[in-house]
Amino acid sequence: MTEIAKPTLDDIRRAAEAIKGHVVRTPFVAAPRLAKQLGLASLRVKLENQQFTGSFKDRGSYYKLRSLSADEAKRGVIAMSAGNHAQGVAYHAQRLGIPATIVMPEGTPFTKIERTASFGPRVILKGDSIDAAAVYARELAAKENLVFVHPYDDPYIVAGQGTIGLEILEDDPELDYLVIPIGGGGLISGIATAVKALKPGIDIYGVESDLYPSMHHAINQIPPANGGQTLADGIAVKSPGALTRAIVEQHVREVLLVDEMTVERAVGALVETQRIVAEGAGAAALAAIMCHPGAFKGCRVGIVVGGGNIDSRLLSQILVRTLVLDGRMATLRIEIVDQPGVMSTLTRVIGQAGGNIMDITHHRLFVDLPVKRAEVDVLVETRNAKHVDEIIDMLDKTGFPTRRLSSHSAEG
């Protein structure tokens, strides 16, 4: 396999042999409850979040490092990344005894820095963005004669990621569609190369955040328009690879865009329905089906959860917000007469309606109310959005004017 050629099916098969026993052969699990909710004939989920470093990057990183000559391995490698690629390269470099340098943007979260550093590389924080870090990494590679390990635009990286496609078809060759996240394009390029060579009838869709539609815009000849804070930071890439773009144009039916709220819903749905922890980028494929349900209705669909490296605090926020969006938790602002015994009556009404009170905040100093009246904010756990309406109706009928402060259901 030459450095300029697109990887072939044979290249991916060689990669599969090379990585066997060194990365996880991840499961491709059925998700019948999600399939029913989305109107699909079937849905299967490829769990790359079960790799040792928590993402599919283990595959390409190992295969690339394994391909180095003895001289290259002795000189060492350098990579730029703010997350999963950094960990994949650092981990496998440590296993193979290859000196590694990882350049990360200065604003990289501490947890990602520490996780990468735990594998023993030299970690350098440089630049205010991944692009700035990449420039520095290239300069340092030239200065110190290091091998630059690109996160996606490299045929060995693409071939390594393509081993996922072989495993998917071994487990379920009867799929109609595959939906795969796109950052720089290494993952989808490898999978598409393998799948299209073996089963040309399976259509492949790519997915990008609508804040970073780099591949979508590139293949549709639209000027670049990237920027903003995204939950799907693992695919927030401003410039797709030249190699990967050519493969996407050849094999991918369409690149779909997803909004932030749907990515958040997808993260929550994977935890709630399948007990799968996915980072924002890892949940992007499910988000695409949620955003474009008509394209997949009644079909057999496979998706790839590319990674599960999500911050615990962020995940907890998403899960609480999911309860609010689904109507299973609501904050109610209730007007009361400010006198003894009223609060006990109020809580009894909510309890009789089946609500579980989680928190109460009393407001006596709101000047838009008469002095003998007050308002309380009650956080209530409920069954669903309809149940919230039933509680509000019962409070109103009992003499407690009530309005909901939190969002309605996700459908609203």
pLDDT digits (tens, 9 = 90+) for 32-83: 999 999 999 999 999 999 999 999 999 999 999 999 999 999 999 999 987 8
Question: Which residues, in sequence order, are CB contacts of 238 under 8 Å at separation 6+?
Answer: 131, 212, 214, 224, 226
Take residue 363 and report the two structure tokens written for it: 């407001």
Q: What mean pLDDT value characterizes the chain? A: 92
Q: Which domains does the chain have, with CATH numbers?
A: 9-56+154-317 (3.40.50.1100), 59-148 (3.40.50.1100), 326-404 (3.30.70.260)
Per-residue pLDDT tens for 319-374? 888 888 877 889 999 998 888 889 899 999 999 999 999 999 887 655 555 656 88
**pLDDT of 211 strictly over 90:** yes
Residue 50 to residues 32, 307, 368, Cα–Cα distance (Å):
20, 8, 54
pTM, full prediction:
0.86
To which H or E segment does residue 157 belong? Answer: helix 155-171
**pLDDT of 404 strictly over 70:** yes
Confidence bin at 246 (pLDDT 50/70/90): very high
Q: How far apart are CA 6 and CA 241, in angstroms?
A: 12
Question: Which residues, in sequence order, are CB contacts of 107 under 8 Å at separation 6+?
Answer: 128
DSSP state of 329: E
Q: Where are the beta strands (DSSP E) in 88-142?
A: 100-104, 122-125
